[in-house]
Chains A and B, each alone.
Chain A
Amino acid sequence: MDVSWYLVLSAMLFAIGATGVLIRRSPIVILLCLELMLNAGNLALLAFARSLGDQDGQIFALVVMVVAACEVVIGLGLIVAMFRRRLPLNVDEMRGLKG
């Protein structure tokens, strides 16, 4: 399999994730779509690592996974805090900081 197949697949997954961020309103699903985009980036990193025969890209992918885990923890903490304060779980209605 040529490496470019993996890159095109990763571009497609990234585009699907971007669509999800734009069309969904629920913060949980938006976090899930961010995961989709980060994983598409990971797939591209691993494909480049394979095409160059260099393992540094795999280290980068693991660091991306760590950052994604941190982002999930903070995001879900925010969602739980919003739910406890009975705020609407809808990103369009959370516009208190909008100028």
Chain B
Amino acid sequence: MAEVVFFIAGLGAIAGAIGTIALRNPFYSVLALVGHLLALAALFLLLRAEFVAAAQVVVYAGAVMVLYVFVAAYVGDIEEPIWEPIPGQRLLAPLLALALFVELSIAILGTALTSLDSEGPLIDETFGSPASIGELFLEKFLIAFEVSSLLLLVAAVGAIVLAGRRRPTSKAARTEAREAERLV
């Protein structure tokens, strides 16, 4: 049973990944990535990471992808030119990726870690459950937890500064902005 689910979800993940890089329209790329993320969530469940799978579906496929869809719709279609700054880049890149994949596979399959050739040790039912993940976050990894919350806050402020419309407040700043616009 696990094999069937693995191969279906794995093929779905690969198809979604290829769709993401091959589709011309960024909007369809985003939709392909949503399919990829859902297939990956199924794989996470097979690895007994139920909380991470739920977070993947809710946070990634839900929230982050909605952001992508909005920006792809706002920016619209982007024409990708045929012109290449590095000649032959579109041919060399897949070769490089293939070499990377072969190297990584050799490293994985040739490793002396014997635990990789098994399903992993027997684990109890609480493995990966929200309760045990929360306990780890609040006890063993409290600093990482707090730092990631700070990082999210900084990213939110940064995004507002980057994308927000600036309204000049004082009169001097307004004339300055008009001057700058005239120069552009």
Q: Report which A residues bind B (CB closer than 8 A).
A: 1-9, 11-20, 22-26, 28-29, 31-33, 35-36, 39, 42-43, 46-47, 49-53, 55-56, 58-59, 61-63, 65-74, 76-81, 83-84, 89-90, 92
Contact = CB atoms under 8 A, between A and B. Distances in A.
Contact of A6 (B47, B85, B104): B47
A38 to B, nearest CB: 10
B17 A13 contact: yes
Contact of A13 (B13, B68, B74, B81): B13
Q: Is the interface of A mostly helix, strand, loop or mixed?
A: helix
Contacts of A3: 115-120
23 contacts: A8-B109, A13-B14, A14-B101, A15-B104, A16-B18, A19-B93, A19-B94, A28-B72, A28-B78, A29-B29, A35-B33, A46-B49, A50-B47, A51-B113, A65-B56, A66-B151, A71-B155, A72-B67, A73-B155, A76-B163, A78-B162, A80-B71, A84-B165
Given A15-B101, A70-B151, A53 B121 contact: yes
Interface residues of B, number: 85
Contact of A65 (B59, B85, B159): B59
A8 B101 CA distance: 8
Contact of A55 (B81, B90, B100, B136): B136
